[in-house]
């Protein structure tokens, strides 16, 4: 399976590193071009490489970790999604960590509106960068990531990827029910560091 990462800040690189170590082929991309990510990709080992936005977006599974104002541009003008999985790790953060008016939608529903045909799963947005990048196997258990989405098979696929990376997952249901709990600001789950024992 090929995984594309759109947005190579702390969250994107943390996830990409875990996925590459887990044996997935990872394409890392940002708005500045592959040259700016060559060194970061090399540090992740032979399974990771830097690519264009279009190359990352064409992968089997795409991890979106751009800053909120960049979401429309990052997802604009791409080939049809045709049911491929889009992992939404964004947070709709305004200036000074303020809450934005999303027109009655949750943040993942807004992301989905920019990626018609994608099966959107919200995941990877609740832990701070250092915690997400750290070894998920800790204190005799596995660090927890939350996920939600409207497609059961897509959630299962994301759960398998995260499990192979070493995380435990908790399914919060649909985007309508789960995304408001996960999103920052406003949700109750961001920065919550849980470890599943056993």
Q: What is the pLDDT of residue 38?
A: 96
**What is the average pLDDT value for the chain, to the nearest integer?**
96
**Distance separating alpha carbons of residues 19 and 165, to the nearest angstrom:** 6
**How far, CA to CA in Å, does 61 sit from each of 97, 132, 139?**
29, 19, 30
Q: What is the pLDDT of residue 98?
A: 83
Q: What is the pLDDT of residue 96?
A: 82
Q: Report residues of the chain scoring pLDDT below 50.
A: none
Q: Which fold has domain 2-197?
A: Rossmann fold (3.40.50)
* pTM, full prediction: 0.96
Q: What is the pLDDT of residue 94?
A: 82
Q: What is the pLDDT of residue 198?
A: 80
């Amino acid at each position: 399976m090929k995984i594309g990462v759109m947005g190579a800040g702390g969250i994107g690189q943390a996830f990409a590193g875990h996925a590459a170590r887990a044996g997935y082929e990872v394409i890392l991309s940002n708005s500045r071009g592959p040259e700016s990510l060559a060194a970061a990709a090399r540090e992740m080992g032979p399974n990771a490489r830097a690519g264009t936005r279009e190359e990352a977006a064409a992968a089997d599974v795409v991890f979106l970790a751009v800053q909120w104002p960049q979401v429309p541009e990052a997802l604009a003008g791409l080939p049809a999604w045709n049911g491929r999985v889009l992992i939404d790790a964004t947070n709709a953060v305004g200036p000074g960590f303020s809450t934005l008016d999303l027109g009655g939608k949750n943040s993942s529903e807004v992301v989905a509106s920019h990626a018609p045909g994608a099966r959107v799963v919200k995941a990877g947005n609740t832990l701070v960068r250092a915690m997400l990048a750290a070894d998920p196997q800790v204190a005799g258990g596995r660090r927890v990531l939350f996920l939600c989405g409207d497609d059961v098979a897509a959630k299962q696929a994301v759960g398998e990827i995260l499990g192979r990376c070493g995380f435990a997952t908790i399914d919060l249901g649909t985007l309508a029910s789960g995304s408001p709990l996960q999103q920052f600001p406003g949700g109750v789950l961001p920065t919550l560091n849980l470890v599943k024992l056993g």
